[in-house]
Structure 1
Amino acid sequence: MLIANERVTFSQYPSVLKNIMNLEQAHESRQWLSHWSQLNRSATPLWNLPNLAEKLGVAKVCVKDESVRSPLGSFKALGAPIALIRLILRLWPEHKLDAKELISGHYKELFKAFTVISATDGNHGRALAAAAQSIGCRCVIVLHANVSLEREQAIAAYDAEIVRITGNYDESVEEAARLAATNGWHVVSDTSYEGYEDIPRDVMQGYGTIAAEIIEQTGAERDKPSAFTHVFLQGGVGGLAAGIVSYLWEFHGESRPQFVVVEPKQADCLYQSAAQGKAAKATGSVDSVMAGLACGETSPLAWQILQPGVDYFMTIEDDDAVAAMRLLASGNGSDIPVVAGESGAAGLAGLHVLRQSAEKSKAVCLDADSRVLVINTEAATAPSVYQGLVSESAESVLERQASWLNSGVRQPATA
């Protein structure tokens, strides 16, 4: 399903939104993150995929590959640590803590009795657990019934205490809030709700690092057109999309690219929000192979940015995501093989679906001149799931990737 957002605006980035998300705080967050041992020092690659572009009938397809951002395996490594840092700075202003030293573990003795908690589908919880371990505080993670054992073990490896519930993601969010209120812990969630916006805002602000790197890698100029005509973004509760949209909108102004947000058909909370003109709930079962996008309720804070800033919302089937995973894994001639998890391939899946329909392509202004950016948000964070879906292990794909990098057919890692 595809819907054009009737409430989108075409203007400079509104000043009211700068009070929520802005370039200045995104740059500050990026500086702090550069001191965290769990992040690679260099920018993640921006791969040009000319064969895929030809196959899809567009001028260019580029993928920003967040699978190699961190040993944590996903873009979430940019959000949770920033939220935790800013929470601690707000709680203890009298200590005059240095954020870069905080994430480097210089104040561990101060925070041994401090506990944070969050619900997760996997990646956010893993990033929060790693950040808490680095800072020296205690971390409790609430997992719902559909989170795999592999993802649980990956989170527990960072000393997090695991709480399992039998319900879905939204019920795990409620349980995390209940446990926090009962025990005097602090929720560090990537989704907002009534009375809870500061931390989700900080999480989203951390994602600006991705957009900042894209701008640097493409040589873009302030208030000039983007290197891309279209940017396809994963849905979920809306946090990633809001973080990227706000940054690129403020940087490019009226010359910003068109944004298309993609989510599972059965977890269509953002699609429904666009239809209703307000932050809304999903209409389906929510359960999806795209575990990181299996969210039933839109983040109201993210929606404040997405409602005026996103041009189109669409839903895809689980099979579409799997097909996109295989497309990225295969590589082809001059295209690099890329490991993309179930949620990581969703943006490309959306592009693939639209290009199979002349009517939908025309509605979104996709044609032979379009230059498209997608973001691979995660690696194979559940390796056995990945192998079962792609029919090849992530290790095998990475071996082929290494061979490609050494083959001499390498395309410039820019747009």
Structure 2
Amino acid sequence: MTLSRTIAGCGRITDRAATSPSTGSFPAELEAVLSSTMTAAAQREITTWPGYEPTPLRSLNHLAEGLQLAEVLYKDESPRFGLGSFKALGGSYAVVCLMADLLEAQKGERPPLAALRSGALARAVENITVVTATDGNHGRSVAWGAQMVGCACRIYIHAEVSKGRQEAMEALGAEVVRIDGDYDASLRRCAEEAAANGWYVVSDTSYEGYMDLPRNVMAGYSVMAAEVLDQIEGPPPSHVFIQAGVGGVAAAVCATFWQRLGAARPRFVIVEPATAACILASARAGRPATVPIEAETIMAGLSCGEASLLAWDILSRGAQDFLAIEEQGVESMMRLLASGEAGGGTIEAGESAVPGLVALVAACRDQDLRRSLGLDDTSRVLVFGCEGATDPAIYQQILAGNDA
């Protein structure tokens, strides 16, 4: 797949919405949602973990030139802790924090997180079970966190999650339960069985009565955004195109940029599959919305029909544009990045890594949309390549030009 062919046929935006975000500094009321204290604590902790390295920030200089933009930067999460996605930052951190909370409640003294994640307190937590529902990457992170601390882990996946992603979670010691139905059905089953058995749900989405652990998950994700701000040379980006499932990662990145940059933060553009655009629907409704998942998207990690309440609190004030994209263009963009023709070297990008780029290319090809998004030859655009080849078999099929 050549650069010119990808730009010419990368797909299209099927729906869009726009809002008027808050200006100025990070609002005090959002500190109660995801505080700068929480994000700073997560950043201090995770950057001390064995194997931690900032993931690369790549310049897609050839793509930027082809789109007549000043710069396109790609945050490449494929090498993150060997788990292949940014999710390694969230679920695992939440598990460690949960174990610290439980042992503090039991013993009256909070153990050091370093002692927990080293496995030194495994005997104290071995009878605790953490559970989650996942499309793959979040479950892998929770399973890794459980393996580190020594507690049990049970993961619920829906009918369309690939066998390869299931096996990756099982390799980390998790018990994996596959159910009929979609992601939201697996969430309900997970919550029901956790309540019946005294297990602890570690979810990356928040809902009424369940807020604390998703805050820790989002705080973990903030590490990725903090790295970008340290890696960028020169002024901050003018635009951030970032994908959303339930909205957690988009909200974490938006909050971190807002906390650090205040009124100078970039314009945030939220990108979703047309078949699962719950954040766009929320923007249109002015409140958290649910959409039915009638067909699964190739962008497996984004197949979510219900917005996270915490994420929506941030995105409703911090994001300005909401785009839905069709499936066409995902595979060709993956092949383009793998070829190196976009710039930045050869990049391993999974199906959920490229929606921001697909939307950016489609927006630049639509002159009216390009103008309304404020994209021009001075724009410096940041996108997040949130995963690598999290299912190697599917990835190789796509690179070979075969249906996944």
Pairwise TM-score range, normalised by the shorter structure: over 0.9
CA contact (8 A) 1:4 1:312 kept: yes
2:374 is equivalent to residue 336 of structure 1? no
3-state secondary structure, aligned to 2:147:
helix
2:252 is equivalent to residue 243 of structure 1? yes
Match of 2:90 in 1: 79
Aligned AA (1:238): G
Q: 1:114 aligns with which of 120, 128, 141?
A: 128
Q: How does 1:120-269 map to 2 (within 5 A)?
A: 120-219=134-233, 226-269=235-278
2:307 is equivalent to residue 298 of structure 1? yes
**Residues in 1 aligned to 2:346 and 2:388: alpha-carbon distance in whole angstroms:** 12
What number of residue pairs does the alignment pair up?
Answer: 386
Q: Which moved more, 1:24-33 or 1:63-72?
A: 24-33
TM-score (norm 1): 0.90
Indicate how the Cα distance of structure 1 residues 122 and 284 shifts in structure 2: closer, same or farther if over 3 A, else same: closer
Kindly state the Cα deviation for residue 292 of structure 1 after the two structures are TM-superposed: 0.2
Indicate how the Cα distance of structure 1 residues 385 and 367 shifts in structure 2: closer, same or farther if over 3 A, else same: same
CA contact (8 A) 1:22 1:247 kept: no
Kindly state the Cα deviation for residue 284 of structure 1 after the two structures are TM-superposed: 4.8
- Identity within the alignment, %: 42
Greater relative contact order (Cα < 8 A, sep 6+): 2
Q: 1:323 aligns with which of 332, 340, 352?
A: 332
3-state secondary structure, aligned to 2:328:
helix
Match of 2:119 in 1: 105
Q: Which moved more, 1:113-122 or 1:82-91?
A: 82-91
Aligned AA (2:49): W
**Residues in 2 aligned to 1:54 and 1:200: alpha-carbon distance in whole angstroms:** 39
Q: 1:360 aligns with which of 369, 372, 376?
A: 369
Match of 2:8 in 1: none
Kindly state the Cα deviation for residue 20 of structure 1 after the two structures are TM-superposed: 1.7
Match of 1:402 in 2: none
3-state secondary structure, aligned to 1:318:
coil
Q: Which moved more, 1:346-355 or 1:141-150?
A: 346-355
**Residues in 1 aligned to 2:42 and 2:282: alpha-carbon distance in whole angstroms:** 29
Q: Which moved more, 1:365-374 or 1:7-16?
A: 7-16
Aligned AA (2:70): A
Q: 1:33 aligns with which of 46, 60, 80?
A: 46
Aligned AA (1:88): M
3-state secondary structure, aligned to 1:170:
helix
2:30 is equivalent to residue 17 of structure 1? yes
Kindly state the Cα deviation for residue 286 of structure 1 after the two structures are TM-superposed: 4.9
Indicate how the Cα distance of structure 1 residues 111 and 285 shifts in structure 2: closer, same or farther if over 3 A, else same: same
Kindly state the Cα deviation for residue 333 of structure 1 after the two structures are TM-superposed: 8.0
CA contact (8 A) 1:286 1:296 kept: no
**Residues in 2 aligned to 1:308 and 1:31: alpha-carbon distance in whole angstroms:** 27
**Residues in 1 aligned to 2:164 and 2:302: alpha-carbon distance in whole angstroms:** 18
Match of 2:56 in 1: 45
Match of 2:319 in 1: 310
1:199-256 Cα offsets, whole Å, 9 max, x none, are 1111011111011111111257xxxxx5210011111000000000000011111111
3-state secondary structure, aligned to 1:140:
strand
Kindly state the Cα deviation for residue 2 of structure 1 after the two structures are TM-superposed: 4.5
Match of 2:3 in 1: none
**Residues in 1 aligned to 2:186 and 2:335: alpha-carbon distance in whole angstroms:** 31
**Residues in 2 aligned to 1:334 and 1:280: alpha-carbon distance in whole angstroms:** 38
3-state secondary structure, aligned to 1:341:
coil
Aligned AA (2:101): R
Aligned AA (2:102): L
Query: Segments of 4+ in structure 1 off by > 4 A?
Result: none
1:359-394 Cα offsets, whole Å, 9 max, x none, are 11111011111101111100111111112222279x
2:17 is equivalent to residue 8 of structure 1? no
**Residues in 2 aligned to 1:217 and 1:203: alpha-carbon distance in whole angstroms:** 23
CA contact (8 A) 2:129 2:151 kept: yes
Aligned AA (2:86): F
Kindly state the Cα deviation for residue 356 of structure 1 after the two structures are TM-superposed: 1.2
Q: How does 1:61-72 map to 2 (within 5 A)?
A: 61-72=72-83
CA contact (8 A) 1:268 1:284 kept: no
**Residues in 1 aligned to 2:384 and 2:251: alpha-carbon distance in whole angstroms:** 14
Kindly state the Cα deviation for residue 143 of structure 1 after the two structures are TM-superposed: 0.7
1:169-219 Cα offsets, whole Å, 9 max, x none, are 000000000110111100000011110011111101111101111111125
2:286 is equivalent to residue 273 of structure 1? no
**Residues in 1 aligned to 2:75 and 2:204: alpha-carbon distance in whole angstroms:** 21
Aligned AA (1:169): Y
Aligned AA (1:22): S
Indicate how the Cα distance of structure 1 residues 287 and 16 shifts in structure 2: closer, same or farther if over 3 A, else same: same
RMSD value, Cα = 1.6
